[in-house]
Amino acid sequence: MLTSVLKNKNFRNFFLADIISGFGSGMTLIGANWFLLKLTGENRFVALLMCITVSSALLVFPFAGTIADRFHRRQVMMLANFVRAAFLLIVALLLWSHGARPALLFLLAAVSGAGWSIFLPASRGFVQEILPRKDYLHGSSLVEISLQVGMFAAAAVCGVIYKYFGFGTILLIDAATFLVSNAFLSLIAYVPTSSLDRHEAFFSQFLMGGNISGGIN
């Protein structure tokens, strides 16, 4: 049963961390789209923002599986969250001090897309480190649900926050979600594993193909 998986304390903390991180990712994307449209009045800039987000994710994704397998997956997730949080705070500060500029939003989109692309494979492989083999299927199903719940909740909440508090507040809340996600990840007690030899050159492992799913022997 899916509910029985949530009785596992480690998985429960991870599940909450994943939902919160997905919520932050969704708010960043949605809020930036609305703000850019208001700033420029041009749909083509919104389309460009989406292209940058997707392109940065696609550029990083081929390496993300090897990164997730070569290093401790919790550390990879926490670093991805921390970098995104730090960059959100920097963008918020620059918007406040120098005014709104489309280039800042495009850079934000690139960092957000790359950060999500690194976080995702590490998080999916991490499930297999904290659950017994018999629970892999149920755990993976709940993780996919968490992604959809986080994104859906972001869409519902983001509009209200944007209307009454503005885009700057969205950036601050997004940064906070990634830090809260890291707090839950830090509560997980487990023995880290990696499926690749760290002494082998990174690009040699990449060319051989990393175990993106994070399979553990």
Q: Percent of the chain beyond pLDDT 70? A: 87
Q: Which homologous superfamily is 22-188 in?
A: MFS general substrate transporter like domains (1.20.1250.20)
Nearest CA to 122 out of 187, 210, 186 is that of: 210
Q: Within 10 A of 50 (CB to CB), how many other CB atoms are there? A: 15
Q: Could you read off the pLDDT of 64-107 as tens digits, one per residue? A: 888 888 888 999 999 999 999 999 999 999 988 888 889 999 99
Tokens in use for 37? 């449209």
Q: Could you read off the pLDDT of 114-142 as tens digits, one per residue? A: 999 999 999 988 998 999 888 888 888 88
**All residues at 6 or more sequence positions from 141 whose CB lies less than 8 Å from its CB, including other chains:** 2
- pLDDT of 70 reads 83
* pLDDT value at 184 more than 50: yes
- pLDDT of 200 reads 53
Q: Cα–Cα distance between 26 and 145 in angstroms, integer?
A: 14
Mean pLDDT of 48-65: 92
Nearest CA to 104 out of 113, 95, 96 is that of: 95
Mean pLDDT of 34-42: 92
Mean pLDDT of 37-65: 92
Q: Cα–Cα distance between 54 and 42 in angstroms, integer?
A: 19
DSSP reduced 3-state for 190:
coil
What's the whole-number average pLDDT of the chain? 85
Judged on CB neighbours under 10 Å (0-12, 13-18, 19+), 200 is exposed
Tokens in use for 94? 């620059």
Domain boundaries, the chain: 22-188
- pLDDT of 210 reads 47
* pLDDT value at 154 more than 80: yes
Tokens in use for 166? 């503005």
